[in-house]
Amino acid sequence: MIGEKPRGLRAHLPVIYPALMLGIFFVVPFGTMVAVSFFHRQPGAFYLPGFELGNYRALYTALFGRVLVFSLFLAGLSAAVCVSLGFPFTYFITRMQRRAQVVWLVILLSVLSLSEVIIGFARSLLLSRTAGLSNLLVWLGLMDQPASWSPGFMALLLGICYLAFPYTVLVLYPPLSRLDPARPEAALTLGASPLRTFFTVVVGSLRNAIVAAFVMVFVFTLGAYLLPQLLGRPQHWTLSVLITDQAIYQSNMPLSAAMAIFFMAVSLLLVALTMYAGQEKRAAGP
Amino acid sequence: MNKALRYIFLGVVLAIMSGPLVVVCGVSLNAKKRLFFPPEGLSLRWYVELLTQSEWLIPVKNSLTIATSSSCIALSIALPLAYFLWRYRVFYARALFTLGISPFILPPVITALGFLSFWVTTGLYGKMIATMISHAIFFVTLPLVTIALGFESIDPAIVEAAETMGADSRTVFRTVIFPMVRPYMISGYAFAFVLSLNEYIVAYMVAGFTVETLPIKIFNALRYGYTPVMASVTVVFVLLAALIFGLIGRFGDLPKLLGALNPENN
């Protein structure tokens, strides 16, 4: 029964409802957004149907370019931090007893499910003057008086890494837990040091998984919307903030739709390039 | 030496992950309306306020209603799709599956803007039903992936045995397939539920000014003056998430749900 071809309407019955739901509520909204990006802006209302390229032309400004570059830079940097910390972390977890693994996974999932609002709030508290980490340092005698470390670029980077770290681990978990334990053991038996085994055998055989994880985390952090507002200064606002601002506060849906589509195109292009580079490397490697 | 380093590394990560939560927990216990850490005086009054003030009760109710119903809708989309994909391996089922995964892979602001333009066009902008359906589509990935995993774990020989013994396909589904997939359905529902409770940008874009969910309420409260109630909400949220995932970990196969040791990929 499994794997045969569906025949007649009856066999197709189960798939009709999901297809309709996804079609109406995902494909159509997406199409609407593409259409709106060509519409004319109507002050006071949302938009007037039409076709013009003015919204895309309006993207060509210094502000948009600066914000785009900053968003990509921030996402790239935090993805690099998360993957380089998350990879050894995930490796250690996958080598634990099953029961310990479950405990760690529950902690990671709980942190992962936290809203950006909550993370931003918790981070800004931790870096604040009245309730923050600096009080602990004062109490330990390492600092003279409590200081405020938020908002700022470091606070923002910390917050985004905090947001993305559990996600990174969960992306790396499947390939790492499927890694045959015999491989690193063989390297150890042959006399390689644990550190060398880790870098040559574990990292080496999972290079593609690392590239894929970097891409996933990169796209994930591009979506950060609240943290830049809570932990950063206005010059640290990302494209997600700009798009929402145009859509909600400036009521300029056509422009924000054009921004969103351009944003998506750029991120998909970067993802494709990274994937391509990863494959090239594998083809060239041993 | 190596082992000690490993434990130090794990410990540091754990400390960094739990640091903010410890501070929030402490702040939520302040006796006065100040955000101090360590707290000055101990009291549970901010938890009481969360459960008695309508200012907070309405967002709590909104969030719970939206999370419960949107994960139901997500499940209702995911189950037949995953079943169809498992039973008939045809390309359009694969295409639909990819479609169901894409809301989760795109940057959320793009999906959110798509929903916004759609609901504005259909005139349902600002209604709770818009938030429910948007969340259902946004999170359909989670039950879809877990249930598909559940179907994969069924041994085809069992289905064949049931058919040989004369069961028709409805009976096979009801007595053999469904009970085996049920734990995966529950996990998928729980994942979607917890994430919907915590989701901000889609809920904000679709109906942020009329249907206030808890994350929206917390953000508004952050902008217009701090109160320790925010900290107590956070604590409740973390505990709820930990409880739900803990239950899945206790009664389900969490490593497998998250992709460990899938025999066909070995």
Encode pLDDT of B89-118 as tens digits.
788 888 888 888 888 778 888 889 889 889
Question: What is the domain partition of chain A in residue ranges?
Answer: 53-281
- How far are the Cα atoms of A32, A46, B24, B109, B196 from residue B126, in angstroms, in the given order? 18, 14, 32, 17, 17
Taking a C-beta distance cutoff of 8 angstroms, is the pair A243, A260 a contact? yes
Whose CA is closest to A29, among B160, B68, B119? B119
Q: Which CATH number applies to B44-260?
A: 1.10.3720.10
Nearest chain A residue to B115, by CA: A29
Distance between B40 CA and the closest CA of chain A, angstroms: 11
Percent of chain B residues topping a pLDDT of 90: 20
The per-residue DSSP string of B95-144 comes to HHHHHHHHHHHS-HHHHHHHHHHHHHHHT-TT-HHHHHHHHHHHTTHHHH
Of A29, A125, A260, the CB nearest to B24: A125
Q: How many CB atoms lie within 10 A of CB A129?
A: 13
> Could you give the ipTM of this predicted complex?
0.80
Q: How far is B112 from chain A (nearest CA, A)?
A: 9
| B35-71 tens-digit pLDDT | 776 777 777 788 888 888 888 889 989 999 999 999 9
Which of A4, A26, A114 is the closest to B237 by Cβ? Answer: A114
Instruction: State pLDDT tens for residues B240-261.
Output: 888 988 998 888 888 888 877 6
Residue ranges per structural domain of chain B: 44-260
Report the top-level CATH class of A53-281: mainly alpha
Residue B64 has a pLDDT of 92
Return the residue in B18, B79, B110, B210 with the most chain A beta carbons within 10 A, the one to mutate for interface testing: B110
Q: What is the pLDDT of residue A237?
A: 87
Tell me whether residues A18 and B265 touch, CB distance under 8 A: no
Q: How many helices (H) and strands (E) does chain A have?
A: 15, 0
Q: Which among A6, A115, A257 has CB closest to B200?
A: A115
Min distance A107 CA to chain B CA atoms (Å): 7
DSSP 3-state assignment of B206? helix
Give the pLDDT confidence of A234-280 residue by residue, as tens digits.
888 888 888 888 888 887 888 888 988 888 888 888 878 877 776 66
From first to last of the 286 residues of chain A, give the pLDDT tens digit: 566 677 677 777 788 899 999 989 989 988 888 888 888 877 666 677 777 777 788 777 778 888 888 999 999 999 999 999 999 999 888 888 888 888 888 888 888 878 788 888 888 877 777 666 777 777 776 667 666 766 788 889 988 998 889 989 988 888 888 888 888 888 888 888 878 888 888 888 888 888 888 888 888 888 888 888 888 888 888 888 888 888 888 878 888 889 888 888 888 888 788 777 766 655 554 4
Nearest to B88, CA basis, from A19, A23, A14, A20: A14
Burial, B179: exposed, middle or buried (Cβ in 10 Å; 0-12, 13-18, 19+)?
Answer: exposed
